[in-house]
Amino acid sequence: MEDTVVDIDLKEKEEYIINMGPQHPSTHGVLRFETCLQGETVKYLIPHCGYIHRGIEKMSESLTYPQLIHLTDRMDYLSAHINNEAVSLCVEKAMGVEVSDRVKYIRTILAELTRIASHQLWWSAFGMDLGALTTFFYGLRDREKILDIFEESTGARLLQSFITPGGLMYDVHPNFQKRVTEFVKYFRKKLPEYDQLLTGNIIFRERTQGIGYMSLEDAIEFGVTGPSGRGSGFHCDIRKIEPYSAYPLVKFDEITFDVGDTYHRYLVRMKEMWQSLSIIEQLIDGIPQGPIMLELKAIKAPKGEYYQRVETARGELGVFIVSDGAPSPARIHYRTPNFSNLFIINKISAGHKIADLVAISGSLDLVIPDIDR
C-alpha cells in the first residue's frame, strides 16, 4: 500500500520519464510502461493497460453460450483451447451434465499441446528479447508441428473454438493419434537443444539470475499464479488443487522452486514442457471410443452462480457465470491470470536497469489481450 504509485513526479536530480510502448518490439502487445529512470536505473514504473479493451464481458451478455466461446479464444490467444475448456466446463457444471470419457481425454491432450506450444513461443520471444536471435527460429520451427496437428483436426492454427459446452465441435482427424505420438518422440529429442542453447549459457545466467526477485508473500498477495508464481514457491497449480477433465487419471509433478528470480521462472516453464510431454504420453494411447457431443435440447444454465477454475499456460483462469435461466448469461466475468501477473512488475523491477526490465517482463510472460479483455 505504501508503494502504490499514483502518478510519476520527478523529485531527484537526473530523473526522467521514458515510455516503453504501446508500440515497442519487446512488450509483446499493446502495453505502456511509464518508467521513471535515474540514469540507467528504474526507480518505479506505472503500467497502463486498456489499449485493447474490447468489452468481451459486456458483449457476452447478448450472445448465447456456444457463441461466446468464440470470444474466449481471443483473450489469451496462446492458450485458446484452455480458455474454451474453462467456459465449457462451467456451463456443463451449471447444467449438471458430464461429458463422455473420449471428450475428456481429447480435451486434456489438446490442452497440454497448447501449453507446450505456448511455452515454445514464450521461449523464442524471451531469447530474442535478450539478444539471442537464433532461439526465435528454433522454437517456432518446433511449434509449427503442433500447429499442423491443430489445423488438421480443428481447422485453425491459432484460434480454434473447438471445445464447446457439451463436448467438441467435431471429432478429431483419424491421424490425430499417430501425429501426436510422432510429435512427442520428435520433441523429446529437440528439447535438450533448447537447454544447450540458452539455459547453460553464462551470459544468459548473468542476465537472469538474481534479477526480479519476487517473494512468496508478494506472489500470494498480488495473486500471481502460473509458472511466475510457482517460481517463487506458490503451490497454485489448479490441475492438482481442483482437477478437471482427465487430470485425475494422470501422474505428473507440479514444478516449484523457492528462489523467485527470473532464472527460476524460466526453469519452471522449461521443466513444465517435459511434464506436459509425459501427460500426453500417458493419455494418447488409450483414448476411449464414445460420443463427441451430448444430446442437449438447449444450452441454458439454470438460475444461479457458477465458478470454474482451470490452469492455462500462464496461470489460473476463472470463469464466473451468473445465470437467470436464459440462453445468454446475465453476467460473465473472467478472472484472467495476466491481469494479476502484470501489476507486480513495479515491485520486482525497482532498482534494476532498463535491460533487466525487458528480461523481467519476458519472464512474467504477459499476453496483453488477456489483461484487457
Partner 1 sequence: MTREELISLVATLVPDMKPGANKQYPEVIVTAAQLHELAIALKKTPETTLDYLFCETAVDRKDGFHMIYYVSSSVLHHLLMIRVVIPDKLNPVIPTVSDVWRAAEFYEREIFDLFGIKFENHPNLKRIFLDDDWVGYPLRKDYKDTFTIER
Partner 2 sequence: MYDFTPIIESISGYFTSTFSPLWAGVLLMVLLGIAILGFYAILGLYLVYAERKICARMQNRIGPNRVGPMGLFQTIADLIKLLMKELIYIRNADSILFNIAPFIVIVASIMAIGSIPFAKGLQAIDLNIGVLYILAISSMGVIGVLIAGWASNSKYSVIGAMRSGAQVISYELSVGLALLCMITFSGSMQLSEIISSQEDGWWIFKGHIPALIAFVIYLIAGTAETNRGPFDLAEAESELTAGFHTEYSGIKFAFFFLAEYMNMFIIAAIATTVFLGGWLPFHIYNFSVFNNLMDLIPPIFWFFGKTAFVIYVMMWFKWTFPRLRIDQLLALEWKYLLPINLINLILTSFLTLMQWHF
Q: For binding to partner 1 (CB under 8 A), which residues are involved?
A: 1, 4-6, 49-50, 53, 55, 57-58, 62, 93, 220-223, 225, 234-236, 241, 304-307, 309, 316, 318, 320, 322, 330-331, 333, 335, 339-340, 343, 372
Q: Which of 76, 92, 129, 261 binds partner 2 (CB under 8 A)?
A: 129
Provide, rounded to whole angstroms, the least separation between the CB of residue 311 and partner 1: 12
Angle between the N-to-C axes of helices 176-194 and 101-130, in degrees from 0 to 180, rounded to the nearest 10: 30
Cβ-contact 357, 334 below 8 angstroms: no
**Closest separation between CB of residue 203 and partner 2, Å?**
5
> Which residue's C-alpha cell is 537472469?
208
Alpha-carbon span 209 to 17, nearest angstrom? 27
Residue 307 engages partner 2 in binding (rule: CB under 8 A): no
Return d(Cα 127, Cα 134) in angstroms, integer. Answer: 8
| Alpha-carbon distances of 183 from 56, 138, 361, rounded to whole Å | 35, 15, 30
Residue 18 to residue 10: CA distance in whole angstroms: 12
C-alpha span between 31 and 205 (Å, rounded) = 27
Which of partner 2, partner 1, none has residue 298 at its interface (CB below 5 to 8 Å by kind)? none
Asked if 8 is part of the footprint of partner 2 (rule: CB under 8 A), the reply reads no
Separation CA 33–CA 330 (nearest Å): 35
SS3 call for 205: helix
| Torsion on CA atoms 213, 216, 218, 223, rounded to nearest 10 | 120
Q: Which of 67, 61, 76 is nearest to 28 (CA)?
A: 76
128 counts as binding partner 2 under rule CB under 8 A: yes
- Told to check if 201 binds partner 2 by CB under 8 A, we report yes
209 binds partner 2 (CB under 8 A): no
> How far is the C-alpha of 16 from the C-alpha of 36, rounded, in Å?
6
How far, CA to CA in Å, does 37 sit from each of 9, 13, 40, 138, 290?
A: 11, 11, 6, 35, 60
Contacts of 126 (CB under 8 A, 6+ apart): 135, 266, 362, 363, 365
Site for partner 2 in 50-109 (CB under 8 A): none
Among 43, 145, 207, 269, binds partner 2 (CB under 8 A): 207
Q: Which residues of 205-222 are buried (b: 16+ CB within 10 A; e: fewer)?
A: eebbeebbbbeeebbeeb
CB atoms within 10 A of CB 335: 16
State the binding partner of 325 from partner 1, partner 2, none, CB within 5 to 8 A by kind: none
**Which CB, 158 or 203, lies closer to partner 2?**
203
Q: Which is nearer to partner 2, 186 or 307 (CB)?
A: 186
Which residues have CB under 8 Å from 90's CB, separation 6+? 306, 307, 308, 319, 321
- For the CB of residue 300, give the shortest distance to partner 1 in the complex, in Å: 17
Q: Which stretch binds partner 2 (CB under 8 A): 137-145, 223-231, 313-321, 340-348?
A: 137-145
Smallest separation, CB 358 to partner 2 (Å): 5
215 binds, among partner 1, partner 2, none (CB under 5 to 8 A by kind): none
Q: Which is nearer to partner 1, 261 or 316 (CB)?
A: 316
CB closer to partner 2, 203 vs 326: 203
Total residues at interface with partner 2 (CB under 8 A): 30
Q: In whole angstroms, how close is the CB of 125 to partner 2 at the nearest point? A: 9
Which listed option, partner 1, partner 2, none, makes contact with residue 128 (CB within 5 to 8 Å by class)? partner 2
**From the list 158, 203, 241, 326, which residue makes contact with partner 2 (rule: CB under 8 A)?**
203
261 lies in the binding site for partner 2 (CB under 8 A): no
Which part of the chain contacts partner 2 (CB under 8 A), choosing from 269-277, 280-288, 328-336, 348-356? 348-356
136 lines the binding site for partner 2 (CB under 8 A):
yes
- Chain contacts with partner 2 (rule: CB under 8 A): 16, 18, 24-26, 40, 127-134, 136-138, 141, 197-198, 201, 203-204, 206-207, 353-356, 358
